[in-house]
């Protein structure tokens, strides 16, 4: 399996149905979709069961659109089972450090993951699939369930984000929007009314921050706290950029 990393598009708020590059859709009410399998009796009533699609270097943020090339046999089975059941939900979880040692087994994933809706199934002639998924929201992985399939099934619980009071949210939203535009040197268009949590996520994707650090911020449900931490990362990235540009260029050795 492989996925193109979520990079910020040129226009935040546009919807691009393309398997060539990830994009972001503007947050909006979604069309009804086939729900994932309800959790077993006796489990948390809010929990749902869905297949787990672990990735080593990608997070799926709410509203982000991500193309995934599916070629491993176990994940080809996962896609075929979704099609057979008429379902379109799966969980994208980030693999923890050290996943290489047990990749073909069941390496651990971070407990806060992204719930995805499959927008498009595209089968290739060699039996592989190209699928296009969109982030629905953050979920907490409660437990691994199910037997008899080559991939993992997990029970997950939807996580609700906490919004700050409107005046505080507006100030942070302006700071994030301005930061996004400045960091992209004015080449990124951001809609004026983009929500706070959405802007924090898009800026986090754009920053050159290690994926494990991004996962820590991804798991923060308090939008104020997440936005403030993303702005701190932006300040660090800007300082690094200035120090790189101020560093003297090395003089190449020559021959007489």
Among 110, 139, 158, which residue terminates a domain? 158
- pLDDT at 70 (0 to 100): 95
Among 141, 158, 175, which residue terminates a domain? 158
Identify which of 55, 234, 26, 44 has the alpha carbon closest to the alpha carbon of residue 155.
44
Whether 255 is in a domain gets the answer: no
- pLDDT at 9 (0 to 100): 36
139, pLDDT greater than 80: yes
Whether 93 is in a domain gets the answer: yes
Whether 230 is in a domain gets the answer: yes
The answer to whether the CB of 8 falls within 8 A of the CB of 205 is yes
Q: pLDDT tens digits, residue range 207-247?
A: 999 999 999 999 999 999 999 999 999 999 988 887 766 55
Shared domain check, 119 and 14:
yes
| SS3 of residue 55 by DSSP | strand
Q: What is the mean pLDDT of the chain?
A: 82
Shared domain check, 148 and 196:
no
- pLDDT at 127 (0 to 100): 86
Whether 63 is in a domain gets the answer: yes
253, pLDDT greater than 50: no
Stretch among 70-74, 116-120, 165-169, 244-248 having the lowest mean pLDDT = 244-248
- pLDDT at 15 (0 to 100): 27
Shared domain check, 105 and 190:
no
Shared domain check, 94 and 46:
yes
Shared domain check, 153 and 33:
yes
Identify which of 237, 223, 236, 233 has the alpha carbon closest to the alpha carbon of residue 171.
223
Among 115, 132, 158, which residue terminates a domain? 158
4, pLDDT greater than 50: no
17, pLDDT greater than 80: no
Q: Where are the alpha helices (DSSP H) in 61-195?
A: 73-85, 166-183
Of 61 and 104, the one with more pLDDT: 61
254, pLDDT greater than 50: no
Q: pLDDT tens digits, residue range 50-76?
A: 999 999 999 999 999 999 999 999 999
- pLDDT at 36 (0 to 100): 61
Question: Predicted confidence band at 35 (pLDDT cuts at 50, 70, 90)?
Answer: low
- pLDDT at 46 (0 to 100): 75
Kindly state the average pLDDT of the residues 183-188: 79
Shared domain check, 105 and 89:
yes
What are the distances in angstroms from CA 203 to CA 47, 176, 199?
A: 30, 7, 6
Domain of residue 140 covers 2-158
Shared domain check, 71 and 146:
yes
Whether 67 is in a domain gets the answer: yes
Shared domain check, 127 and 73:
yes
Shared domain check, 152 and 171:
no
Whether 252 is in a domain gets the answer: no
91 vs 116: CA distance, rounded Å: 6
Kindly state the average pLDDT of the residues 105-110: 90
- 3-state percent breakdown (helix, strand, coil) of the chain, nearest 5: 30, 25, 40
156, pLDDT greater than 90: yes
Whether 145 is in a domain gets the answer: yes
- pLDDT at 13 (0 to 100): 33
Shared domain check, 143 and 41:
yes
30, pLDDT greater than 50: no
**Number of folded domains that form the chain:** 2
Kindly state the average pLDDT of the residues 114-136: 93
CATH number of the domain encompassing residue 130: 2.30.130.40
Whether 249 is in a domain gets the answer: no
Shared domain check, 140 and 85:
yes
256, pLDDT greater than 60: no
Shared domain check, 219 and 154:
no
């Amino acid at each position: 399996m492989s996925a193109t990393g979520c990079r910020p598009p040129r226009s935040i708020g546009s919807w691009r149905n393309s398997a060539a590059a990830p994009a972001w859709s503007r947050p909006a009410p979604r069309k009804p979709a086939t729900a994932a399998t309800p959790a077993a009796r006796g489990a948390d009533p809010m929990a749902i069961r869905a297949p787990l699609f672990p990735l080593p270097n990608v997070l799926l943020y709410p509203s982000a659109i991500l193309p995934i090339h599916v070629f491993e046999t176990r994940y080809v089975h996962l896609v075929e089972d979704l099609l057979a059941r008429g379902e379109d939900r799966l969980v994208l979880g980030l693999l923890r450090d050290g996943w290489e040692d047990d990749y073909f087994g069941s390496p651990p994933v971070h407990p806060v993951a992204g719930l995805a809706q499959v927008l498009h199934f595209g089968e290739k002639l060699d039996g592989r699939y190209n699928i296009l998924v969109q982030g629905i929201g953050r979920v907490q992985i409660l437990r691994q369930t199910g037997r008899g399939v080559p991939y993992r099934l997990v029970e997950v619980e939807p996580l609700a984000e906490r919004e700050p009071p409107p005046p505080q949210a507006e100030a942070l939203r302006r700071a994030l929007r301005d930061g996004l535009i400045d960091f992209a040197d004015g080449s990124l268009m951001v809609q004026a009314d983009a929500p706070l949590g959405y802007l924090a996520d898009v800026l986090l994707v754009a920053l050159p921050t290690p994926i494990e650090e991004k996962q820590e911020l991804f798991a923060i449900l308090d939008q104020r706290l997440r936005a403030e931490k993303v702005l701190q990362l932006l300040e660090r990235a800007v300082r690094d950029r200035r120090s790189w540009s101020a560093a003297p260029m090395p003089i190449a050795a020559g021959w007489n």
